[in-house]
């Protein structure tokens, strides 16, 4: 697997830098916030049952030249490589996603995040957790509430495990559970294979998208588009057909839909399935 970044200058430019910034906490904060606003989370490939390559040139081409985004194994994979290139002490971790279910459920390790040590303090950085992605690095070795440009988060510890929690609608909700076990390339390959091909994967045959901005989050769940603004009720609308979905991907998420002959049929099939399940 290719492990070298090939489009560093363009990648940094998209993140607001014309030259390599220093490996400081301030840089990490700026890069994480800008990354979640610039490169959207999206699962068009798994909707279409397409392979999701993890080599860095392929990910960079997808993000920088195809007008696409990706999910955690792509977004955090390339973000980790960038941080290491900039001189950060950073390595990958994997997590068990428990959002929306029992937090003690032993789910598969299907989420990639990044552990970054700056000035002797350990932080987690994550640019690939969909609609609830943290928009700032979070200190690992504290259970204090930590502010971000969006929701507050905290990391709790129990029996050697860490649980990321977010304050949503006045309730602390568990997002994912992780440990600090070192990960190798094969761990990313196996996790990505599960997410992109296993019949139990929540992304297989599904369309998800998410993006952040100043005081807002946008999410797409198949045909349900929502805008969440801090301190305000969420605005939601149902999209009637594939053309409407593709327009929202373009206008609200800055995603250029792939030129795939089965795309509209796949989207319309998801919309029909959702409509029949709620009727």
The answer to whether 17 is a known catalytic residue is no
The answer to whether 72 is a known catalytic residue is yes
The answer to whether 126 is a known catalytic residue is yes
**β pairing state of 41-42 and 224-229:** unpaired
Of 72, 123, 150, 162, the active-site residue reads 72
Q: How far is CA 152 from CA 29, 75, 250, in A?
A: 15, 22, 29
Strand order in the sheet with 161-168: 138-139, 121-125, 109-118, 89-97, 171-178, 161-168, 153-158
Of 111, 150, 162, 228, the active-site residue reads 111
Of 35, 123, 126, 150, the active-site residue reads 126
Catalytic residue positions, numbered: 72, 111, 126
């Amino acid at each position: 697997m290719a492990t070298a970044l090939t489009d560093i200058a363009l990648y940094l430019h998209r993140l607001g830098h014309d030259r390599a910034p220093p490996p400081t906490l301030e840089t990490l904060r700026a890069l994480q916030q800008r990354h979640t606003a610039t490169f959207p989370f999206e699962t068009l490939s798994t909707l279409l049952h397409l392979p999701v390559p993890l080599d860095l040139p392929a990910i960079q081409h997808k993000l920088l030249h195809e007008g696409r985004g990706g999910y955690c194994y792509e977004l955090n994979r390339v973000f980790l490589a960038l941080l290491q290139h900039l001189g950060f002490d950073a390595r990958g971790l994997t997590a068990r996603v428990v959002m929306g279910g029992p937090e003690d459920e032993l789910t598969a390790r299907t989420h990639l995040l990044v552990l970054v040590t700056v000035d002797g303090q350990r932080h987690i950085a994550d640019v690939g957790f969909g609609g609830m992605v943290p928009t700032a690095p979070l200190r690992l070795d504290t259970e204090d509430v930590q502010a971000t440009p969006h929701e507050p988060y905290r990391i709790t510890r129990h029996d050697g495990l860490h649980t990321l929690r977010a304050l949503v609608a006045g309730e602390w909700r568990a997002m994912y559970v992780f440990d600090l076990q070192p990960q190798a390339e094969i761990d990313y390959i196996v996790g990505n294979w599960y997410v992109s091909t296993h019949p139990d994967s929540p992304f297989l045959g599904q369309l998800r998208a998410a993006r952040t901005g100043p005081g807002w989050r946008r999410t797409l769940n198949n045909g349900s588009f929502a805008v969440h603004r801090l301190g305000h009720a969420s605005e939601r609308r149902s999209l009637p057909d594939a053309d409407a979905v593709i327009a929202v991907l373009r206008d609200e998420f800055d995603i250029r839909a792939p030129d795939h002959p089965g795309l509209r049929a796949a989207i319309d099939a998801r919309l029909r399935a959702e409509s029949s399940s709620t009727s």
